[in-house]
Structure 1
């Protein structure tokens, strides 16, 4: 099993796919995952039921916010002159940039270390590509 994992990691490194290595985004889970999806969108491990728990938590938070009337107010509803006490408030949805930032934000010590490793590997790769392109232009 160790040899299979080592071979798989070697394959990811040689194919320059180290960005596919992640840590599960579950609150209490630090499982390492390899994202083999086409669009590289896997966030949770398969064996910890982390995705389901995260979705249930988000749903329950939305429902509680609706019941309590503590939903976030959008800027457009605050700025409109016709927004009185009886107007409905809308949930403020995060932009795609905010979602991407949240996904890339490490949640544990091991995730921070993994992110630093990926960044270092990416910098080394980019330096190597620059050197390679400079030598090919001189030829």
Structure 2
């Protein structure tokens, strides 16, 4: 039997005072819940992703000029929270956002669950993947 992806937190008197949810569940519900949380905190609804669009032209250039002896893998896994996607572009909502890309094979993603940076460096003999936790 698997564990629930959330836990209701109670104070000493048994009254609920908060909820803890897993990173995987947050990735699923973030787009719906974040505006509610921002309004409750007195913040305007923001979509920072729109302020800095994904560099899709750079991604398309990488695809067009790909000449390494292995196929370009679209799978991304966050080494920090464990979120994973078989094809980052096909996810709805997106689990990972493209942050940087160049035709030299450097591709960087932001995990939407924990905001960690997942970097894939493509070399002739393989791919090196690195995850760095989010830092303000």
Structure 2 length-normalised TM: 0.26
Structure 1 length-normalised TM: 0.26
- Bigger radius of gyration: 1
More helix by share: 1
More strand by share: 2
